[in-house]
């Protein structure tokens, strides 16, 4: 293992001693997700934090990004719309029709509203949830919900997008579109930097995973992500 994953536990040691009620709320929200979406969010949190460390974010910034990653798809829980959870859980094995796609796309707004209702008033987290499907500069296929561009998209959302896409495209649970390797996923970072992704962030993520791939196999890295995600899950349910 070339990266010090112990660093991730610093985050939990911090929350064990600080902001406990706030973090308990986050743990409760994560527990409202169905198993497939929850697994996705936990793995995205692992990947996002790796990118955050490679991007030299401060501890404060890593905390925000980590929480954002855990709850970014909370709009796919049944806290707002019971249909969306069913769709989200089936989402890797079925193609959506137009109406279902519209419901799924609404998860960013629903997520924002759920967090507001839970009085999670941190702007970086709220905007991150709202903006995580926007595209950096892709006028032909703009993102949603607001077709934002460039720095109009929040900093955290731009970083989260990389981890979100990497997880979604390499996930073992991916069935309805073919699953790809980490190498292919980061190739996409390279090809679409400046278009779908913030170029500076895409470059850092590309280099990070390229470096990892020199020492570990594709499956090895995915396993590592899975093991860390399981540990985060245990910490969330046991400590909070
Ligand atoms: Fe999402
Ligand atoms: Fe996601």
Residue 200 lies in a domain: yes
Q: Is 123 domain-assigned? A: yes
- CATH number of residue 220's parent domain: 1.10.3210.10
Say if residue 238 is exposed, middle or buried (CB neighbours under 10 Å; 0-12, 13-18, 19+): exposed
Residues around the ion ligand 2 (C-beta < 5 A): 73, 164
State pLDDT tens for residues 90-117: 865 567 889 988 999 999 999 999 999 9
Q: Which band of pLDDT confidence, cut at 50, 70 and 90, is reported for residue 197?
A: very high
**Residue 1 lies inside a defined structural domain of this protein:** no
Q: Please give the structure tokens belonging to residue 4.
A: 């010090």
Range of the domain at 164: 6-239
Number of domains forming the structure of the chain: 1
Sign of CA dihedral 33, 38, 42, 44: negative
Q: Which residues, listed in sequence order, are joined to residue 193 by a DSSP beta bridge? A: 197
The CA 85 to ligand 2 mean position distance, Å, reads: 13
Q: What spacing in Å lies between the alpha carbon of 89 and ligand 2's midpoint?
A: 12
Alpha helices in 149-198 (DSSP H): 155-170, 182-191
Say how far apart CA 195 and CA 138 lie, in whole Å: 5
- Is residue 211 one of the residues assigned to a domain? yes
Q: What does pTM read for this prediction? A: 0.94
pLDDT tens across 125-180, in order? 999 999 999 999 999 999 999 999 999 999 999 999 999 999 999 987 766 667 89
pLDDT of residue 10: 79
Residue 77 lies in a domain: yes
Query: Could you tell me what percent of the chain has a pLDDT over 70?
Result: 93
Q: What torsion do the CA atoms of 110, 104, 99, 84 make, to the nearest 10 degrees?
A: -70
């Amino acid at each position: 293992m070339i990266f010090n994953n112990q660093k991730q536990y610093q985050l939990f040691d911090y929350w064990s001693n600080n902001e406990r009620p706030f973090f308990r709320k986050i743990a409760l929200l994560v527990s409202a997700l169905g198993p497939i979406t929850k697994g996705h969010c936990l793995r995205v949190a692992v990947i996002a934090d790796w990118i955050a460390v490679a991007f030299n974010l401060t501890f404060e910034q890593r905390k925000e990004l980590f929480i954002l990653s855990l709850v970014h798809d909370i709009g796919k829980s049944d806290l707002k719309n019971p249909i969306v959870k069913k769709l989200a859980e089936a989402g890797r094995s079925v193609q959506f029709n137009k109406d279902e796609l519209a419901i799924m796309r609404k998860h960013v707004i629903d997520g924002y509203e759920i967090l507001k209702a839970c009085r999670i008033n941190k702007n970086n987290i709220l905007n991150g949830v709202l903006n995580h499907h926007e595209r950096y500069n892709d006028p032909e296929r703009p993102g949603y919900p607001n077709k934002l561009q460039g720095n109009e998209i929040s900093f955290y959302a731009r970083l989260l997008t990389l981890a979100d896409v990497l997880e979604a495209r390499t996930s073992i649970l991916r069935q309805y579109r073919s699953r790809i390797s980490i190498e292919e996923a980061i190739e996409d970072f390279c090809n679409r930097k400046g278009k779908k992704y913030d170029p500076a962030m895409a470059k850092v993520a590309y280099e990070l995973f390229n470096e990892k791939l020199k020492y570990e196999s594709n499956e090895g890295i995915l396993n590592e992500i899975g093991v860390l995600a399981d540990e985060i899950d245990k910490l969330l349910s046991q400590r909070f």
